[in-house]
Structure 1
Amino acid sequence: MNPYREKAGRPHRRAIYQTDWQLKKRIQRLFLILFSLLMLHVCAMVALEDMTVQQAMWLTLTTLTTVGYGDLSATTAAGQVATVVLMYITGITLVTLIFSDYVDYRFYRRERIRTGRWRWNMINHILLINAPKYGGTQYYMRLVQQLRANSDYKSTPIQILTTGFADSIPPELAELGVAHFHGSGTNLHDLSAVNVHEAKHIIILAKDSQDISSDSDTFDTLHRLSEFNLSNRCIVECVDDENRNRLAKLGAQSILRPVRTYPEIIIRALIAPGSEKVLEDLFTHENDHPHRYDVNIVDLTWSEVVCALIQSNLGTAMAYIDQENEVICNPIATDQINAKAIIVLVKTEETATDQGINDAISRYKQRMKQWNEMKAANKIA
């Protein structure tokens, strides 16, 4: 099937044979020929009609545009023949051809953009490779909106390379200023078409977050990029954790599990590299994860609670729950808290008990009391 064929199956009369570059070259060539004919007619009017250059140019332009004010005209037979041949037959015909080719070019360009086959030649852009199999439009909308919400990426060009949008990019994404190229990250020609060498960030999504075979496609894409020393710009999704080492050996900047409900994790990988690992761990019960402990904390500042847990190697306090069941995240260090529970980032294999947390806080309060008594005694002495 011809790639330039219209959706209804009828080929466009010229776009089917010519590329956009060929059409532009043809238009430029016609303009050059037209300009030469205009200059030739000006010279003919000066030589045959004894006009000034200004008069000859005025007559030429009014004749070409078919305005014909009548203030000037060719009177000699030779001048009239030159006008008919150069202007009416050749010049006006060329203008018609130029206009026709321009319309063809605009139609061709619009169709290529609509079907994702237009080369945008972007630089310093974010390249998104692959569209999620399910809910791709909604996922991309959230991802792009999160990017645009950050001042560093508010105006950064974004392009999607995927075979997922066969007919056209969804209008919701087009309205967000996202460009689309219909192709695959495993194809070198398609990677070249999206100007991958000039991309600021490259995000390779898993085609199907439920299918481990998606990692093969991801690996192939990353391998091709690594051949051009571009893998260090790549944030990659990996379905099967056993494949992480293979992707890491290719030099990927970050490797993440596909989390379709939270594209913000990828945003964090762009804005604050490394923070995505912390967020990813929060979604699992492996390694580091948040744990709730029921406690009774009064007359302590948040910084004292944090220090009590760290000194006892019990984890990092992240938030507390007050007596009204409100969760207070990342409190100010000097805030006096009245908590009935705290949320602590712990290691799975070293998770403490509620009693252990309470004991650590009690020991810390006792040390602080002794320290304050020592300070008071030293002042008295």
Structure 2
Amino acid sequence: MEPAVILFLLPARLGERFKDRKPLLLLFDLLILGAVVSAGFVVLLRFVEDVTWEEAIWLVWQTATTVGYGDQPAQTSIGRYATMAFGLMDIAIVGAGIGAVFDAREDRRRRTRLGLMDNPHRDGYVVFNFPGVSRFTGFVHEIRHVESDAPVCVVDDAIEQLPESVTALPHVHFVKGSVLDKDTYTRAKLADNKVVIVFPTHPGDPSSDGTTRVAVDLILDTVTADTRVLHVLVSPDNDWMFSHLASTAVMETLEVLAIVQECQDVHSADIVQRLLLNTQDANPMTVVPERIVGWTWQEFVTYALPAAEERRVEINPFAIIKDGVPHLCPSRLERIEEGDLLSVVAHTGLDWPAFEHALVRARE
């Protein structure tokens, strides 16, 4: 396409793209108008005042920037009238342009607040269905204890904007949109982020799992294998709906289960809570065994102690994960096979490859 045609079609294309952002569109229109008027004035001076193109451009520049007309004022009546007209138009365009800049900036803030802007974050977390101030701020606090300033985007259609206490948090974005709207997934930039979490639309209502199922299905069609998808399940009876989906379920009734365990075994709830909190004690860490593939669980547990002493770290074997299913108390003769994962309880920053080397040395 010819450059002249592109320039001719530019205003229409900008108008279509930014039709919902009038202040920004006005700014573009003013810039285009200023460019057209300046070009016309350059051509007029070039022929009316009989100057070179360079001189004509320089004279227009001086007039447009209110520097004055320098040492070479217009000599002809047409040139003088054109200079006055151009000067007045330029003052009006500059004034309107400055106002449009501030209006566009304020409009951007408003659109961001109302969830109308695309998610600008990458390699962060996307949360579908705002779970409430307490849960959300707790989530952000725990995530950022390990990943400082980790970006989080909230996608929701039921709220008009995020609460002030949430918007005060840095690197938190809001996208307003329905789970049934394709544009919602595009604006949330799911494929550019590492974890997507779907909360129930109505906590405590098992029927919400149906909506969650739809959202998870559509999300999985949007993301790549590099993005993990988690969903909060209200009722375990509805787990069958997610059986063929590559999403990890987290029970909404987890706190109820912790209460039951505490009722039957003192300190159980506190232990589970400490395992899950980044801000307290050690946490579960999933690692990939390489050098100890073929070992039994007993060998792993036995040599973990001298290896920990050598590395001067604190670590406890926790579980073995086979085909995605964790076994918390495996048989001592259970073998660690290719493709298995191990869960260990350790402090943040454990160097697993180095620890695995220490395991091998401890066995020799």
Partner residue in 2 for 1:359: none
1:107-122 correspondence runs (5 A)? 107-122=106-121
What is the identity, as a one-letter code, of the residue corresponding to 1:238? L
Q: What amino acid is aligned across from residue 198 of structure 1 in structure 2?
A: D
User: Which residue of structure 2 lines up, in the alignment, with residue 243 of structure 1?
Assistant: 238
1:223 aligns with 2:217: yes
Q: Distance in 1 between matches of 2:160 and 2:172?
A: 16
Larger radius of gyration: 1
C-alpha displacement at 1:154, in angstroms?
3.0
Instruction: Map 1:65-144 to 2 at 5 A.
Output: 65-68=65-68, 71-85=71-85, 87-132=86-131, 136-144=132-140
Structure 1 residues 229 and 82, CA gap change in structure 2 (3 angstroms): closer
2:48/2:76 contact within 8 Å kept: yes
Normalised by the length of structure 2, the TM-score is 0.58
> Counterpart in 1 of 2:203?
209
Q: Provide, for residues 310-364 of structure 1, a one-character-per-residue CA deviation record: whole Å limited to 9, x for no partner.
A: 98xxx99xxxxxxxxxxxxx9789xxxxxxxxxxx779xxxxxxxxxxxxxxxxx
Q: For 2:27 and 2:43, how far apart are their aligned partners in 1?
A: 24
Change over 3 Å in CA distance of 1:240–1:31 after alignment to 2: same
1-structure distance, mates of 2:73, 2:164:
57
User: Does 1:31 find its partner at 2:45?
Assistant: no
Asked whether the 8 Å contact 1:248–1:255 carries over to 2, the reply is no
Matched residue SS, 2:231: strand
1:174 aligned partner: 168
**Are the equivalent residues in 2 in contact too, given 1:158–1:178 (CA < 8 A)?**
yes
Q: For 1:179, what is the secondary structure of its paired residue?
A: strand
Give the 5 Å matches for 1:187-202.
187-202=181-196
Q: Distance in 1 between matches of 2:97 and 2:109?
A: 18
Relative distance call for 1:214 and 1:180 in structure 2 (3 A) is same
1:41 aligned partner:
41
Change (3 A) 1:77 1:99: same
Shift of 1:242: 1.1
**Contact 1:48/1:79, CA 8 A, preserved across alignment:** yes
Would you say the 8 A contact 1:163–1:182 is kept in 2?
A: yes
Question: Secondary structure at the residue paired with 1:83?
Answer: helix
Inter-CA distance 283–235: structure 2 relative to 1 (3 Å threshold):
farther
Q: Which runs of 5+ in 2 are unaligned?
A: 1-17, 269-296, 303-312, 317-327, 331-364
Q: Decide whether the 8 Å contact of 1:137 with 1:173 is kept in 2.
A: no
Alpha-carbon contact 1:226-1:251 (below 8 Å) kept: yes
How far apart in 1 are the matches of 2:25 and 2:175? 24
User: How far does residue 52 in structure 1 lie from its aligned partner after superposition?
Assistant: 5.7
Q: Are 2:23 and 2:107, in contact at CA under 8 Å, matched by a contact in 1? A: no
- The gaps in structure 1 that reach 5 residues or longer are 1-16, 262-279, 293-309, 317-329, 334-344, 348-381
Describe how 1:132-171 pairs up with structure 2 within 5 A.
132=131, 136-150=132-146, 153-171=147-165
2: CA distance, partners of 1:148 / 1:240: 29
- Could you say if the C-alpha distance between residues 260 and 240 of structure 1 is closer, same or farther in structure 2, counting changes exceeding 3 Å? closer
Instruction: Quote the offset at 1:257 in angstroms.
Output: 0.9
3-state SS of 1:175 partner: coil
Q: Would the aligned equivalents of 2:62 and 2:70 in 1 still touch at CA under 8 Å?
A: no
Change in Cα spacing, 1:84 to 1:285, as seen in structure 2 (3 Å) is: same
Could you give the per-residue CA deviations for residues 136-159 of structure 1, whole angstroms, max 9, x where no partner exists? 112111211222222xx4344320
Give the C-alpha shift of residue 61 in structure 1: 2.9
Provide the C-alpha distance between the structure 2 equivalents of 1:28 and 1:332, rounded to a whole number of angstroms. 60
Hey, what's the Cα distance between the residues in 1 that align with 2:250 and 2:185?
22
1:226-259, Cα deviation, whole Å (9 max, x unpaired): 344669721111011111121232221x111126
1:83 Cα shift? 1.3
Report if the CA contact (8 A) 1:237-1:255 is conserved: yes
Q: Distance in 1 between matches of 2:233 and 2:315?
A: 37
Which SS does the other structure have where 2:173 is aligned?
Answer: strand
Identity %: 22
CA contact (8 A) 1:129 1:184 kept: no
Cα pair distance change 1:217/1:332, threshold 3 Å: closer
TM-score normalised by length of structure 1: 0.56
Q: What RMSD in Å do the two structures reach over aligned CA positions?
A: 3.9
Shift of 1:225: 2.2
Aligned length: 259
Once residues 137 and 37 of structure 2 are traced to their aligned partners in structure 1, the CA distance between those partners, rounded to angstroms, is: 53
Letter in 1 for 2:142: Q
- 1:161·1:181 contact (CA, 8 Å) conserved in 2? yes
Work out the CA distance in 2 between the residues paired with 1:143 and 1:107: 30
CA drift of 1:89 comes to: 4.5
